[in-house]
Amino acid sequence: MKIGIVSDSTCDLPQNVITDLGIRIVPLYINIGDQGFLDGVELSREE
């Protein structure tokens, strides 16, 4: 049996933990005004 860990993009885990543990990240939509962005794809943490 295989077990996988999946989290949404608000988990705020360091990239090395995500990579080392093979965690899959599902991006959430962030709405700002009338615009929508995929967290971590179309909008970075810095933005």
Q: Which pLDDT band holds residue 12 (cuts at 50, 70, 90)? A: confident
Token pair of 32, please? 């700002």
Q: Which pLDDT band holds residue 8 (cuts at 50, 70, 90)? A: very high
Phi then psi for residue 45, to 5 deg, are: -60, -40
pLDDT on residue 28: 92
Domains of the chain by residue range? 6-38
Measured CA to CA, the distance from residue 36 to residue 14 in angstroms comes to: 24
pLDDT on residue 40: 79
Phi then psi for residue 12, to 5 deg, are: 55, 40
Indicate if the pLDDT at residue 46 is higher than 80: no
Q: CA of 41: how far to CAs of 1, 3, 15, 46, in Å?
A: 31, 25, 14, 12
Using one digit for the tens of pLDDT, what is the confidence trace for 19-41? 999 999 999 998 999 999 988 78
